[in-house]
């Protein structure tokens, strides 16, 4: 019986190979291609077909992602994810009537033009539609207004993030939560306290955005492609972030061999105020880069890519820090934070990281006084 089954399987593959060869050869004749079809080409094509079959059978393309908040950042996250075309469904939720529905419809009408199949569905404050989400991205929150203190902003946005997280966990208890709301470090902490789940499933998007700005500024200064620049930033999301030139390379070449120290320091300072620069130009916060950064995290999780990114995560002894959400390099996969990577920082870098931690801890203490997790 086993021999018969193996024979049938082999025959099936040979038939597929023959059919595929005939189709491609016909296309070659129709298009008057001059190249000769090789068995290697057919073999690769069959491997691709088998991978697609495996992906479908294992629900590779059946993941569901929810984005809460259909403002500029949230709608960008949904749009970028739709274009990546690896999800079955994206739910875009907002509290304002018609906003999520309208932006989702616009994104769906873009699908035939940009050639993707992922459906984006907009809903108004109906969390039942988010049920069973694998990943939830929280972008909800208000910007800081004139006359509003830092503590006021924390109080308002903590109330929003707490409410959103409660609904997310109610309908998607197994979801991985990515926080984008500001102030980022403390809002991620707020979501963690509210969700009451493993901290490896609750983390924030900041490092990817900050690193992207750093890489973009370097590429501009060096007149090279940003694709060739790799870098790591750590610490809080803001003025106390810690760029690490020692871990920055251009196509594998240490950045210090490509640019002088003075110019590099200017770029580091520009990176720290990168968000403010855009606010001064636009009168509002950035959304393209933040949205793309969050979408990249979602992709790494859903596809279990084991990508290494700087993310805002709960530290429990790493880098000598405990009970604090701070940006460090991690490995992202299907379980969320698969690994926290501890770099061998020198004394100067460690001092900068500790100073950043002090600033973040001070903001987190404001939230602790609000008893969010009780």
297 located within any domain: yes
Q: Which helix (H) or strand (E) covers residue 33, if one does? A: none
**Strand-strand pairing, 249-250 and 253-254:** antiparallel
Confidence band, pLDDT 50/70/90 cuts, at residue 42: very low
| Same-domain check for residues 174 and 289 | no
Where do we find the tokens 């059978």?
57
| Same-domain check for residues 340 and 240 | yes
CB-CB contact of 156 with 334 (8 Å): no
64-96 pLDDT, tens digit each:
999 999 999 999 999 999 999 999 999 999 999
305 located within any domain: yes
Instruction: Give the domain range for residue 333.
Output: 207-368
| Same-domain check for residues 107 and 193 | yes
**Domain stop point among 204, 221, 251:** 204
**Strand-strand pairing, 322-333 and 307-316:** antiparallel
Confidence band, pLDDT 50/70/90 cuts, at residue 62: low
Mean pLDDT of 145-163: 86
Mean pLDDT of 258-286: 93
Q: Is 237 a catalytic residue?
A: yes
For the ranges 11-20, 63-72, 125-134, 294-303, the lowest mean pLDDT is seen at 11-20
Measured distance CA(256)–CA(260) in Å, rounded: 6
CATH number for the domain spanning 294: value is 3.90.110.10
Measured distance CA(186)–CA(190) in Å, rounded: 6
**Model pTM score:** 0.84
Domain count of the fold of the chain: 2
Among 43, 52, 83, 237, the one annotated catalytic: 237
134 located within any domain: yes
42 located within any domain: no
For the ranges 36-45, 74-83, 156-165, the lowest mean pLDDT is seen at 36-45
How far from the centroid of its chain's Cα atoms is residue 208's Cα? 8
| Same-domain check for residues 110 and 160 | yes
Residue 370 has a pLDDT of 84
**Domain stop point among 173, 204, 235:** 204
24 located within any domain: no
Residue 321 DSSP code: -
Which alpha helices (DSSP H) does 149-287 contain, by range? Answer: 150-171, 184-195, 207-222, 261-272, 274-282
Where do we find the tokens 């479908």?
56
Mean pLDDT of 54-60: 48
């Amino acid at each position: 019986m086993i021999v018969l089954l193996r024979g049938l399987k082999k025959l099936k593959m040979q038939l597929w190979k023959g059919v595929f060869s005939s189709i491609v050869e016909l296309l070659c004749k129709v298009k008057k291609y001059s190249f000769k079809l090789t068995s290697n080409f057919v073999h690769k094509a069959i491997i691709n077909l088998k991978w697609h079959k495996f992906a479908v059978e294992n629900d590779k393309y059946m993941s569901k992602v929810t984005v809460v908040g259909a403002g500029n950042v949230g709608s960008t996250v949904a749009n970028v994810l739709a274009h990546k075309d690896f999800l079955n469904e994206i739910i875009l939720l907002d509290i304002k009537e018609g906003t999520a529905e309208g932006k989702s419809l616009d994104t769906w009408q873009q699908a035939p033009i940009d050639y993707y199949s992922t459906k984006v569905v907009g809903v108004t404050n109906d969390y039942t539609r988010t049920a069973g989400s694998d990943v939830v991205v929280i972008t909800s929150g208000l910007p800081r207004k004139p006359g509003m203190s830092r503590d006021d902003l924390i109080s308002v946005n903590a109330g929003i993030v707490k409410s959103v997280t409660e609904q997310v966990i109610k309908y998607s208890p197994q979801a991985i939560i990515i926080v984008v709301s500001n102030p980022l470090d403390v809002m991620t902490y707020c979501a963690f306290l509210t969700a009451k789940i493993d901290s490896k499933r609750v983390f924030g998007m900041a490092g990817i955005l900050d690193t992207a700005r750093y890489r973009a500024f370097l590429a501009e200064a060096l007149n090279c492609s940003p694709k060739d620049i790799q870098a790591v930033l750590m610490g809080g999301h803001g003025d106390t972030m810690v760029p690490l030139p020692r871990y920055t390379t251009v196509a594998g070449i240490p950045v210090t061999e490509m640019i002088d120290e003075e110019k590099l320091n200017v770029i580091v300072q520009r990176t720290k105020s990168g968000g403010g620069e855009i606010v001064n130009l636009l009168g509002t916060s950035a959304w393209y880069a933040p949205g793309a950064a969050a979408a990249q995290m979602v992709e790494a999780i859903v596809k279990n890519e084991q990508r290494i990114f700087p993310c805002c995560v709960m530290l429990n002894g790493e880098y000598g820090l405990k009970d604090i959400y701070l940006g460090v390099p991690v490995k992202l996969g299907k379980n969320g934070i698969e690994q926290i990577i501890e770099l061998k920082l020198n004394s100067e870098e460690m001092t900068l990281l500790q100073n950043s931690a002090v600033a973040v801890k001070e903001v987190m203490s404001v939230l602790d006084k609000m008893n969010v997790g009780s």
